[in-house]
A and B are shown apart, each in its own frame.
Chain A
Amino acid sequence: MKKLLALIAIAMLPLTAAAHGPSSQKVEKSVVIKADPAKVWALVKDFGNMQKWHPAVASDKLETKKDENGDNATFRLLTLKDGGTIYEKLRNVDDAGMQLKYEIVEGVLPVNDYYSIMTVKAGPGAGETTVTWMGRFYRKYMLNPPIPPGQDDKSAVDAVTGVYDSGLANLKKVAEGQ
């Protein structure tokens, strides 16, 4: 039986490569922090130190190397407190617009083609800062139904929502702390 399943899995591999995810998913979360925008942005833009503010991240190792187009690019390896890892590529840091863009190369989140923007803005009130975290991704399982448990749209959205909610809540704590 195991052999048969393995054969089926192998037979399906080329399909996985060929097919695209069904529908892109979106998660958008924001938090208002009572702190100076520059202080919050300094935390958000620090690509190699996510463990300073995200409670699920144990360590963050920065790496610079050539990407698939032969251009120099910045990557980070996040090791989570539960032992899992996520390898991410920095797409852009815009200091003037206080915006960071990155993507997941590979990792434990049940997603594909994950791309994200973090934006820091002054307001709404005086001395306040709003951080918005947006993600665009596909579910883990890229083929037509039936979808294996844990690899569907909802699992992908729930996982990313969990990362954003816990991350933004703790970012607020860290930024508001002395």
Chain B
Amino acid sequence: MSTADRCHTFSIRHQSHNPLAPRPLKPILIISVGLALFASMSLTCQAGGHAYITNQGGNNVSVIDLENNQVIATIAVGKAPVGVAVSAKLAKVFISNVDGQSISIIDSNSNQVIEELPIKGSPVGLALSPDSSVLYVADWFDDRVLAINTGNLQQQRVVAIGKAPAGMVVSPDGKRLYVANRDSNDVAVIDTVALHVLSRIPVGAHPYGLALSPDGIQLYAVNVHAGTVSVVNTSNNQSHTVKVGEHPYCVTVSADGQRAYVSNTQGDSVSVIDAAQKKVIATIAVGAFPEGISFDQAKQRVYVANWFDNTVSVIDAASNQLVASIPTGDKSRAFGQFIIEATH
């Protein structure tokens, strides 16, 4: 659903639930109430979303308002936060604390931690099912993935996986979970209902970050040691290899699926891949050691967290130009899709 769609849905729902608008109402009042609601809805929707940046060295999360690219809150979480997953539906943000061995759950309305869930093992990668009902947690040390019911955190299932599971992504229909097994050089395809491994797709050396096109057809796996991205067609597991920058780490896909953006940690740059041509069409200099990367649909911008610089670089997707650099916290990583779109 696009931001515009969501705003529209919300304005209709708010009108129909509005206690100030009983049925036998004068037309002029209906129009004025409707206009006022429309104005307020469109204003808040235009206010844009927020980015949640994990600062591994600061043991906290910087919240960036995407409207003005300012940090509006800094939230203390567990020790060495790395992974992030956001849910507009639940108004929650999930943070994996690798050294703290826990998941911090943030209320995205109040920007307060509302729960800290202990995890046995070392949680790194996080991903949510499209309906936000299941949180997947990659346990780096114990080579397994946990599937946690977000409505009842004690309901957890486990699937054993390849070595050092890192990045994860769920198909748009929620039926498949893809896991990059960094030390097995493959991507596991997991049936999310039975929670078992269906297949393992060989990719390049040390796959880390993963992303899917919005239609779920193109899977991007970043091969850290190979300096490449594997572009896998999920319908037939055929793959292409695209050379990117040095020591690439994470990837995100534009809302229209036409571009993929890859952070090159030792190139201090972002490679822009054209999905149709399957080649790099631009390389943009960003801060030092860029890691986590996400696409903001509302403003068509790319946000990337720079671990060395303690900043977030902002790229305009239309021009492929760097438009802002935002100071965040110590060792910004933001591993996962970290942008939450505005919902109200």
Interface residues of A, Cβ cutoff 8 Å to B: 17-20, 22-24, 26, 28, 68-69, 91-92, 101, 115, 117, 134, 136, 143-144
A contact residues around B140 at 8 Å (CB):
19-20
Inter-subunit contact A24/B163 (CB<8 Å) = no
What is the bound-complex CA distance between A77 and B125, given in angstroms?
A: 36
Q: A18-B163, A18-B164, A69-B227 are in contact. Are A144 and B246 (CB under 8 A)?
A: no
Q: A91-B266, A117-B288 are in contact. Are A19 and B141 (CB under 8 A)?
A: yes
Q: A91-B246, A117-B288, A134-B288 are in contact. Are A22 and B226 (CB under 8 A)?
A: no
B contact residues around A22 at 8 Å (CB):
80, 98-99, 122
B307 at the A interface (CB under 8 A): yes
Interface residues of B, Cβ cutoff 8 Å to A: 56-57, 80, 82, 98-99, 122, 140-141, 143, 163-164, 182-183, 225-227, 246-247, 266, 288-289, 307-308, 330-331
Inter-subunit contact B288/A23 (CB<8 Å) = no
What is the bound-complex CA distance between A96 and B144, given in angstroms?
A: 46
What is the bound-complex CA distance between A115 and B249, given in angstroms?
A: 14
Majority secondary structure of chain A interface residues (helix, strand, loop or mixed): mixed
CB-nearest residue of chain A relative to B163? A18
B contact residues around A117 at 8 Å (CB):
288, 308
In the A-B complex, the 9 residue pairs with the smallest Cβ-Cβ separation, listed nearest first, are: A23-B80, A18-B163, A20-B164, A18-B183, A23-B99, A134-B308, A19-B141, A144-B141, A23-B98
**What are 19 A-B contacts with C-beta separation under 8 Å?**
A17-B183, A18-B163, A18-B183, A20-B164, A20-B182, A20-B183, A23-B80, A24-B56, A24-B307, A26-B307, A26-B330, A28-B308, A69-B227, A91-B246, A115-B247, A117-B288, A134-B288, A136-B289, A136-B307
Inter-subunit contact B57/A26 (CB<8 Å) = yes
B contact residues around A101 at 8 Å (CB):
266
B contact residues around A92 at 8 Å (CB):
246, 266
B143, B182, B331: most-surrounded residue (chain A CB, <10 A): B331
CB distance from A33 to the nearest CB of B (A): 21
CB distance from A117 to the nearest CB of B (A): 7
Inter-subunit contact B331/A26 (CB<8 Å) = yes
A contact residues around B57 at 8 Å (CB):
26
What is the bound-complex CA distance between A115 and B273, given in angstroms?
A: 26
B80, B82, B141: most-surrounded residue (chain A CB, <10 A): B141
Q: A17-B183, A144-B122 are in contact. Are A26 and B266 (CB under 8 A)?
A: no
A contact residues around B98 at 8 Å (CB):
22-23
A26, A92, A134: most-surrounded residue (chain B CB, <10 A): A26
B80, B226, B227, B266: most-surrounded residue (chain A CB, <10 A): B266
